[in-house]
Structure 1
Amino acid sequence: MMETIKTANRLKPLALAAMMGMSALALTGCGSDDDNDSPTSFIDPGKAFNCTDVTTSGARVICLGSATDLRDKTVQDELLDALAEAENGDTFIFPEGRYQFTSTIEFNGLVDNIAVSNLTFRGAGMEKTIIDVSGASADGFLFNNTNNLTFEDFGIYESNNNALKVTKSNGIIMRRMATVWETDYQSTNGAYGLYPVETTNVLIEDCFVKGSADAGVYVGQSDNIVVRNNTAVKNVAGIEIENSTNADVYGNTATGNTGGILIFDLPIGNGKYGSGVRVFDNQVTANNAPNFAKVGEFAGGVHIVPPGTGVIVLSTSDVEIYNNTITDHQTTSIAITSYMLPDDKVAATPKQDVGGADNDDSTPAVMSYGDIHPYAEMYLDGWSPFIRNINIHNNTISLDPAKNNPQGSLIEDLITGYQGFHQQLPDVANGKTTVPHILYDGVGELLANTPNPGGDGESIMQAIAGGINQVAAAVKANIPGAGDYTPINLATFAPYATDAGLCQSNNGIDDQNLFAGSVYETSATANTFADGQPQSKLEQLGAGNMAVAGAIVNDPNGVMNCAGNGFQGNPVTVTVGEQQFGCTSDDSANASCAR
């Protein structure tokens, strides 16, 4: 049967194929004009109407455009009108061709506090259906508050902001999608390609992302995530998992980006921080592009990513990186770092003058929780700037010596220090890349493992966190309107157990070629601190402490070795409607999913 409806503010009806369990009928006349019987065709070369029936009982199929009218405005306006009257289970079919949109395609699924859900958006293929959204001032597609969304088989090009953003939704499939900026390495390109944020149950597979000035694939503040078999090229960050839990990232190819795969926890202040991420069986190759990101709100944003970095883990916990092939990165293959690297103020001493009670103008008055410490509100929110439980094993890591050319303003001092080390001790450094293949800052582990001088056995970081708690209690008691707060869990900053820091094992082509080292010792020694400040191994070497030379190259003190097996993540299952995806379900027979 054939159903047509009048859409809002327009005379032309949309063509609808209503699937009521009856046999499918041809879509003859789909999209014909009510007020114009002229046979004139509005079909540009390269465009094709391809709407076909879908045998889903009770669901509507909405054909965008018609056999005689595939003008850009027609396709865009029909989509906007249909979304204004969307019903559960609708499928929207884009025609083949490239279409210029001038408006953000925006949809808020909440209608009278009830979500309109189970929507599908389908094109003729990510290289055949291209939606050029350069005429829209903001995002290309923006969807909020809806569940069980599927986007498949089309491309979104040239967004001025984000290409496809979905927020506050449960159940998202992005399959065979492309997000593309056709001009390479431009800060004026949009920020994110595929961008689910504050979501649950996310599957991103078989997609292509290129040219993002932030991340091609970004999943943030979300839970239950599978990102598999995608290709990310020429973005600042190829694939990024940020402030998210339970994620499997596997089977992907990241090449030609500034950084290949990123696992970050940023101080965003919404109580959502990451853990339980597995990164495995990915091809991470020659991500040596210049960093063309704009400087963002956070000191740890992607603008800090050193060009030529394969995988980066920043201030997060419980990450397993294994069975990846990581090759030809000019700076470092894997970087594991605390937030101390982008901003050492995370270890500042808390201010204590609550209300300006000491009458000393040189002492900053504490009038709010934010005055206590540059990151007090983030600590009280549950954030930690340090890494814990990172396990890197069984990766193939290699570098063509001709490509050894470390870059990045963030690690400029480290690069200079390692270059000096190689010049000073060429016999010790022989055959090694300038910066370690696996680079660990180690400073968070050091501050958590070092007793606070003059304290009662607590670590330096526990003393800082405990001081914030004490001052926060005074703020609550003495500053009207300060509001409530949740004390910092001091166990977060307790000394690291044997396997709680960074473990690396069985990486590289062979042990002779793998250079893995921590910048700082992870437990205090006689030369670890100078004037109360942590002193890196490179600084110790420059001060004449030759005993650290071997530690710089091959980590003989075991700061990267595990007494046990290290952190092992659990396979992730993504549930979208009645479908399940991941290593425990549709991909369970895939050898890459086996432990």
Structure 2
Amino acid sequence: MENIRTPRLAMAAAVAVASITLAACGGDSSSSSDSGELKKVFSCEDSSAAGARVVCIGSKKDLSDETVAAELITALNTAQTGDTIVLPQGRYEISSELTFDGNGSLGQVGMVTDLTIRGAGMDKTILDFDAATSGGDKADGFFISNTEDILMEDLGVYEAPNNAIKLKKTDGIVLRRVATVWETDYQASNGAYGLYPVETSNVLIEDCYVKGSADAGVYVGQSENIVVRNNIAEKNVAGIEIENSKNADVYNNVARGNTGGILIFDLPIGNGIYGDGVRVFGNTVEANNAPNFANVSDFAGGVHIVPPGTGVIVLSTSNVEIFDNDITDHQTTSVAITSYMLPDDKVAQEPNQAVGTEVLSYGDIATYAPEYLDGWSPLVRGINVHDNRISVAEGIYAPEGKLITDLITGYNAYGVQIPHILYDGIGELLANAGSMGQIADGINQIAAALDNNSLESDGLQIPDTGVFAQYGNGDHVCASNNGDGVTQASVYPTNPAEASFTDGVPDPAFVASNDSMTCGGNTGFTPVTVAAATVSVRGVSYGCGADDTSSTHCSAD
């Protein structure tokens, strides 16, 4: 498959125009375009090569919604390895979730792989799932699972009741020129995720448009080897989110008009999959000041906590490099970096010592004991924010957010604005003071006593107290060269020797001005750098420095 590369500014302009067209595409199943409706056009020919099939959906004589939906369901249920399913131009109402399980295709022995689903363009082939159902549950648009090397391109998924395109347990994904749209802005009733690979590997998402998600427009979770590039995300709660994932590049995207622009999160999911090694660079992160319309998550740190007006957020993950981005006009803060202490201070709960009485299960040891035993850490380590262009126009600063009400009040009391780059610092302070290590040690001892030293038989592991230890070289959170007048500060001092508190509140002089986030210099540590991510699909390598050698920072030299 030819990889179409588009210059960044041209791509942004083209997709912006496309988004206007997308928003205007409506109407019923009429084939007329006289009223501005999207005309239905069949343009598929069976040019199958030996060993592969082209499956045409609809025909020149019949492009009714019912026929297109029925034939697409059949094509997915009977798919064979190497199939290309071609969708016609037009807007089609789909009344049920479209599912493909690579292990469940009719008449196929073994896993079905190398499936291609192709439309006529993301603004020309639109599948409208507004009335879709799925066994009484909210329906996804597409739910694809248990396969390898799947390609979806040149189509739009609108108004999915749940998620637009969900992919699970899949190795090798290309989502290219795909749109996921909810046409009503900022509504909690919109579907949760737009593009949603989870528990996957080798994921490429490029040249896509996502709008209106009540969680994240582009979300990649519990996955590894990820490239998200040249996309536009607007009017979602989170524009782009990388969660509990390893080896990811997020570059040359536009995130604007969301609640939060780009999120790098590590949540206590409890399946042993946690994040590490993410680069965020070359993006335009602009005016993400929308209201937070997310539903409350199962996790204290879900996107419902995102303060409106935040450009980039890093939450309880490790080794993230953020550089060469334009981060402009955010009303609360441009970059927020925080341990899980901010959403839930129970992560520092001391373990219960009464084994056999109060403590009868792992969850009784401490609130987050099961997650610690699973390998999760609430701390941020190795975060480097450098050489970005951060600015806020006069009159925009107006911080808000339920989660940070006390922070806002505190900074107002000190007569200073929230820093452009804000770090909570509390997790690092506790680690440097030895408190987090003591908690991990205590959990180890109590869990072993409770379980008669057979934790491994329960699929758990003794917490690596190293991830709770004092911060060493490469662990620190730092920022440098992000623009004239850009402020950066840790709310809490990260050095216990500097920790001066009154009723739990840091010394005002420290909060108003501190250099705890300074990179290099007299600090005695080296800022972290993260290696480029590479994706392999169908034997082709994608990524910065692989197929892309022309974008900034992607030279083969």
Structure 1 residue aligned with 2:547: 586
Question: Residue in 1 aligned with 2:15?
Answer: none
- Indicate the SS of the match to 1:115: coil
Which residue of structure 1 aligns with residue 225 of structure 2? 224
Distance 1:103 1:444, change over 3 A: same
The yes-or-no answer on 1:506 pairing with 2:481 is yes
Report how far residue 565 of structure 1 moved. Answer: 4.0
- Contact persistence 2:306–2:401 (CA under 8 A): yes
Q: Aligned to 1:475, what secondary structure does the other structure show?
A: helix
1:130 corresponding residue in structure 2: 126
Structure 2 counterpart of 1:577, from 530, 538, 546: 538
- Alignment correspondent of 2:112: 116
Partner of 2:36: none
Secondary structure in 2 matching 1:169: strand
Percent sequence identity over aligned pairs: 58
Deviation digits for residues 384-436 of structure 1 (CA, Å, limit 9, x no counterpart): 000000011000000012100001010001011111111xxxxxx5xxxx211
Letter in 1 for 2:425: G
Distance 1:282 1:42 in 2: 40
Please report how far the alpha carbon of residue 42 of structure 1 lies from its aligned counterpart in structure 2 after TM superposition.
Answer: 8.7
Q: CA RMSD in A?
A: 2.1
| Gap change, CA 1:193 and 1:42, over 3 Å in 2 | closer
Amino acid corresponding to residue 293 of structure 1 in structure 2: A
Q: Tell me, what secondary structure is at the counterpart of 1:593?
A: coil
The alignment partner of 2:188 has SS state of coil
1:49-128 correspondence to structure 2 within 5 Å? 49-52=42-45, 56-111=49-104, 114-128=110-124
Over 3 Å counting, the alpha-carbon distance change for 1:478 and 1:381 in structure 2 is closer
Supply the distance in 1 between the matched residues of 2:219 and 2:326 (Cα, whole angstroms).
Answer: 21
1:282 is matched with which residue?
Answer: 283
Aligned residues: 513
What amino acid sits opposite 1:269 in the alignment?
G
Gaps of 5+ in 2: 1-28, 34-38, 134-138
> 1:182: Cα distance to partner?
0.1
Q: Is the 8 A contact 2:174 2:205 kept in 1?
A: yes
CA deviations on 1:470-500 (whole Å, 9 max, x unpaired) are: 1101110299999463111111111001441
- Match of residue 488, structure 2, among 506, 513, 516: 516
Partner of 2:12: none
- Structure 2 counterpart SS, 1:125: coil
Task: Tell me: CA distance 1:439–1:134, structure 2 relative to 1, closer, same or farther (3 Å).
Answer: same
CA separation of 1:236 and 1:63: change in aligned 2, threshold 3 A: same
2:514 matched to 1:555?
yes
Which residue does the alignment assign to 1:463? Answer: 438
Query: Where does residue 528 of structure 1 map in the other structure?
Result: 500
| Map of 1:19 onto structure 2 | none
Secondary structure at the counterpart of residue 591 of structure 1:
coil
Give the CA deviation at 1:43.
4.6
Structure 1, residues 31-53: CA drift from partner, whole Å, max 9, x if none? xxxxxxxxxx9955511112145
Instruction: Report what 1:199 is aligned to.
Output: 200
Question: Which ranges of structure 1 fall in alignment gaps of 5 or more residues?
Answer: 1-40, 357-364, 423-428, 451-458, 542-548
Task: Give CA-to-partner distance per residue, 1:165-188, whole Å, 9 cap, x none.
Answer: 000010000000000000000000
DSSP 3-state at the match of 1:567 = coil
Question: In structure 2, what is the equivalent of residue 400 of structure 1?
Answer: 393
Does the Cα contact within 8 Å between 1:476 and 1:483 map onto a contact in 2?
no
Flag the 1:343–1:91 CA change in 2: closer, same or farther, 3 A: same
Judged with a 3 Å threshold, the aligned counterparts in structure 2 of structure 1 residues 42 and 334 are, in CA distance, closer, same or farther, namely closer
Contact between 1:476 and 1:484, CA under 8 Å: does it hold in 2? no
> Could you list the per-position Cα deviations for residues 184-229 of structure 1 after superposition, in whole angstroms to 9, with x for gaps in the alignment?
0000000000000000000000000000000000000000000000
Q: Conserved in 2, the CA contact under 8 Å of 1:522 and 1:559?
A: no
In structure 2, what is the Cα distance between the partners aligned to 1:235 and 1:557? 33
Q: What TM-score do the two structures reach when normalised by structure 2?
A: 0.89
Deviation digits for residues 123-152 of structure 1 (CA, Å, limit 9, x no counterpart): 110001100011212101000101100000
SS of residue paired to 1:145: strand
2:463 pairs with one of 488, 499, 510: 488
State the match for 2:431 in structure 1. 448
Alignment of 1:389-428 (within 5 A): 389-422=382-415
Q: 1:47 to 1:480 in 2, by over 3 A?
A: closer
Residues 49-98 of structure 1, C-alpha deviations (whole Å, 9 max, x = no match): 12145575532111100001000010010011122211111001111010
Q: Is the alpha carbon distance of 1:557 and 1:389 closer, same or farther for their aligned partners in structure 2, counting shifts above 3 Å?
A: closer
- Contact preservation (8 Å) 1:315, 1:384: yes
CA distance in 2 between partners of 1:486 and 1:113 (Å): 38
Q: Which has the larger radius of gyration?
A: 1
Question: Aligned with 1:110: secondary structure?
Answer: coil
In structure 2, give the amino acid aligned to 1:118: D
When normalised by structure 1's length, the TM-score is 0.83
8 Å contact kept, 2:282–2:552: no
User: Matches of 2:340 and 2:498 in 1, distance apart?
Assistant: 25
Q: Displacement, 1:572? A: 1.2
1:437 maps to a residue whose letter is: H
What one-letter code is carried by the residue in structure 2 that aligns with 1:341? L
Rounded to whole Å, the distance in 2 between the matches of 1:97 and 1:175 is 19
* 1:566 equivalent among 510, 517, 527: 527
SS in 2 for 1:401: coil
Distance 2:456 2:114 in 1: 44
Structure 1 runs of 4+ aligned residues shifted over 4 Å read 41-45, 53-57, 478-484, 557-562
- Which secondary structure does the structure 2 equivalent of 1:82 belong to? helix
For 2:83 and 2:183, the matched residues in 1 are separated by 32
Aligned with 2:403: secondary structure? helix
Report the Cα distance in structure 2 between the residues aligned to 1:404 and 1:239, rounded to whole angstroms.
23
What is the one-letter code of the residue matched to 1:374?
T
Instruction: State the shift of 1:115 in Å.
Output: 1.1
Contact conserved, 2:246 with 2:278, CA < 8 A, in 1? yes
Q: For each residue in 1:545-572, what CA deviation from the matched residue of structure 2 results, as whole angstroms up to 9, or x when unmatched?
A: xxxx2x4344235566564541111111
Alignment of 1:370-389 (within 5 A): 370-389=363-382
Amino acid at match of 1:129: T
Give, in whole Å, the separation in 2 of the partners of 1:71 and 1:282: 41
- The DSSP-based 3-state class of the residue aligned with 1:175 is strand
CA change 1:563–1:527 in 2 (3 A) is: closer
Letter in 2 for 1:152: E
Deviation at 1:289, TM superposition (A): 0.1
Is 279-288 or 111-120 further displaced after alignment? 111-120
Shift of 1:300: 0.1
Counterparts of 1:117-516 in structure 2, within 5 Å, are: 117-137=113-133, 138-356=139-357, 365-422=358-415, 429=416, 434-450=417-433, 459-477=434-452, 483=458, 485-508=460-483, 510=484, 513-516=485-488
CA contact (8 A) 1:355 1:479 kept: no
C-alpha change, 1:479 and 1:279, in structure 2 (3 Å) is closer
Which residue identity does 1:438 align to in structure 2? I
